[in-house]
Chains A and B, each alone.
Chain A
Amino acid sequence: MKKIFSAVLLIIFLSSVHVFAAGLRESSSALTEVEIWHSAQGSNAEVFDSIIETFNNTIGKEKGIVATSIYQGKANDVLTKINAASGTDSLPDIAMMDATAATDMNASDYLVTIDALGIDTSKIIECGLSSYTSEKGLLALPFNASALLYYYNKTLYDSLGLSAPETIDQMAYVVSKTGLAGSNGKLLRVGFIGIPTTFELSTFIGSQNGLSYMLDNRNGHDGVATKAVFGEEGTYKTFLLEWKKVFDTGFYSTATTGTTEEFTAGRAAAMLASSSKLATIINSAEGFEVGVASVPMVNENATGGTVISGGALFAFSDNEAVKTVLEYLVSKDVQAIWSEGTGYVPVNTESYETESYRSFLKENPLYKVASDALLSSNPGMTNVWVPSAYSIYYSFQTNIINYLNGTGVDETVSEMESIINSAIKTYREQNL
């Protein structure tokens, strides 16, 4: 009797769950929900949320679309979660990720390309489009675009009669002048802090000879790369030889973490960082004026400019609501608001003509440096799409520090080449 009673209870319970679930689907069918996973933090998150809120109160209300923004950690955390959610129905409709996601997304069967959504991209900046274009088409819509910048302590530079260096050779001279040692030989201030890795090298190597690549297949954009080419083209070696000059000044810190904190505390006179950090750095600089300039060129022939960085919006649902939200997010006014609030470079060419963005740049000229650098760069400059991207990121740091500490330059280059080639080989054997 007990068993029969339990069975009846179980059936009632299960059927109620079914009815409840069905009810949920029905109630949500009136409005289409578009879930967006993003990586914007702090004040950037507030700006993003307010942009989404404006959408929901205007276009969304009109078309029956509700967009929800969910913070999922840094860009690489979003990728980790997308990879974990792939193959399930937990994928969001849109995700904000950076170039490290491109290899995985290009290989995935769940990404909906921007071309497939039929979004008009004629107003999107060229370097933004080329950096997310693969043999499959446009993988993602550039949204939070930024550029690598040379940040320096302008107050200090001015007091010494120095200006931002244009080449690494000049940088070595400036670093030697801005570093400061105490009477006991201990460094009180370094002239430069930070060790370049994949992100910085895509510019340092990419800009050489007008345009160069780190990997073949246009840095992996025309199909998965088959090998590293910075060895045979000599571009990595050229960079290392120049960078050693900075190290040899004795006023160079090879720290990999806390570089921004050291710079804003005045213990480092210069560093390289993304333009997306501009607002934070200006606000936290202690007792000095911040200056920014384009990344120093490796040599006079390195005229390619800078690689676009930051992130883009990847879509995982093919419907009109997703298209509407994406079009809204890259529209000229939204991009102007987003850029003014965060320091990112507008990806819509028409945003530069808006009255609000023009007056914003007039009041905040530092924000113009990144967009000028990007727009004057060779549009062929692309970020690197390499498998095992995170491992390679750490390998570059170790590889460079070993070189600075005495490993031969040719040995350093060939070691890095073999690390990358081995990662590419493993990936190709497993996936192609």
Chain B
Amino acid sequence: MSFKKSGKKKHFQNKAYLYLLPALTVAAAFCWYPSVKSIVESFLVVNQGGKVIGFAAFDNYRRLFSDQAFLHSIKVSVTFILLFVPANTFVTLLAASLTRRPSRLSFIPEYIFFTPVAVSLSAYSLLMSDIFRGEASVLNNLFSTAFSGITTPAGAMAVLVILGIFLDFGLDYILLMCAFRSIDRSVIEAARMDGAGGWRLYWCVEVPMIKNTVLVTIFLALKDALLISAPIIILTEGGPYRSTETIMFYYYTEAFRSGNRAVQNALASIVLLIAGAGMTVYSIFKRKKEAL
């Protein structure tokens, strides 16, 4: 159906914009306006009450980058991303791969793997804090182990990665399993007839066919890793010794709890910039792939 050179085209476009209007209004009020406001205010001196009292130029950014706690939080975030994203991709891909063929009993692993989606983040975080809290933890009591859990920096980071995987697992699993099951059967049959089987069929035919979905899960994991703060608030409070204080937890502590507007606006602008850059890279990548 084409609207070219037809008066209907304009009418159709106007109607489309009209349908979009509620979403655009919400986006403008709750996303664009605060974003632009943060960027503008990052160059101003704003007091705790939100009143602008002067021009700061780049002072807020200078202050932010001279704060050792902030620089440390960047290191922690990068460490978390490097540990979490590959581990999360591996675990979810493994689970989806092992259960990709529908069978009479496949509802059992599916049920188990879907369940994390239905449990709240806070509930999981609280549960994890009890399971892994120090020498006297539930885990150590049950298995007579001596895992230090969240009381040491390395243990706390490990527990956070495990929690992150748990939180992302359900959605990623659903996406990957749907992708596996929607692969055109004729391609797999053709590969089989050509003699491919087992590992080769999986790695050279099935995985390449779902790579766009894998990419989506990787980007989702990256976004979650960069923005992680709520599980940290509940599980470790950034500790011990700031070892799990990510950029967003630092933001929460300084901007939200301490009302430090200098940090709030400068850091919000930086995170916005990073997220914008990430989305741009993703869409360029996606367009190139689609063009191929």
Contact = CB atoms under 8 A, between A and B. Distances in A.
B239 A76 contact: no
Interface in B254-284: 254, 256-262
Chain B interface SS verdict (over half): loop
A262 B258 contact: no
Given A391-B254, A419-B68, A431 B242 contact: no
Contacts of B134: 255, 257-258, 261-262
Interface string B15-42: 0000000000000000000000000000
A79 B257 contact: yes
A397 B150 contact: no
Interface stretch (B45-53, B84-92, B165-173, B175-183): B45-53
A80 B240 CA distance: 22
Interface string B231-263: 000001111111001000010011011111110
A394 B260 contact: no
Interface in A101-117: 104, 107-109
A265 B151 CA distance: 15
Given A388-B258, A391-B254, A257 B133 contact: yes
B119 interface: no
Nearest to A83: B259
Interface stretch (A135-143, A146-154, A206-214, A422-430): A422-430
Contacts of B136: 258, 261-262, 265, 267
Interface string A320-360: 00000000000000000000000000000000000000000
A431 B257 contact: no
A161 interface: no
Given A387-B258, A391-B69, A257 B239 contact: yes
Nearest to A425: B63
A258 B150 contact: yes
A369 interface: no
A281 interface: no
B290 interface: no
B63 A104 contact: no
B184 interface: no
Nearest to A432: B47
Contacts of B238: 394
Contact of A87 (B50, B63, B66, B237): B50
B48 A255 contact: no
Contact of A257 (B45, B236, B258, B260): B236
B146 interface: yes
Interface in B140-172: 146, 149-151
Nearest to A399: B241
A256 B237 CA distance: 10
Contacts of B194: none
Nearest to B241: A398
A394 B254 contact: no
A390 interface: yes
Nearest to A431: B47
B110 interface: no
Given A261-B133, A265-B136, A394-B253, A256 B151 contact: yes
A397 B239 contact: yes
A66 to B, nearest CB: 31
A390 B233 CA distance: 12
A109 B46 CA distance: 16
Contacts of A257: 133-134, 150-151, 236-237, 239-240
A80 B150 contact: no
Interface string B49-79: 1100100000000010011110000000000
8 contacts: A109-B49, A265-B135, A390-B253, A394-B238, A422-B66, A430-B46, A430-B47, A431-B47
Given A107-B49, A262-B135, 13 more contacts: A76-B257, A84-B256, A87-B49, A104-B259, A108-B49, A256-B239, A258-B149, A258-B150, A261-B134, A265-B136, A391-B254, A394-B241, A422-B66
Counting from the closest, the 7 A-B pairs by CB-CB distance are A258-B134, A265-B136, A258-B133, A255-B151, A256-B240, A388-B258, A431-B47
Interface of B: 45-50, 53, 63, 66-69, 133-137, 146, 149-151, 236-242, 245, 250, 253-254, 256-262
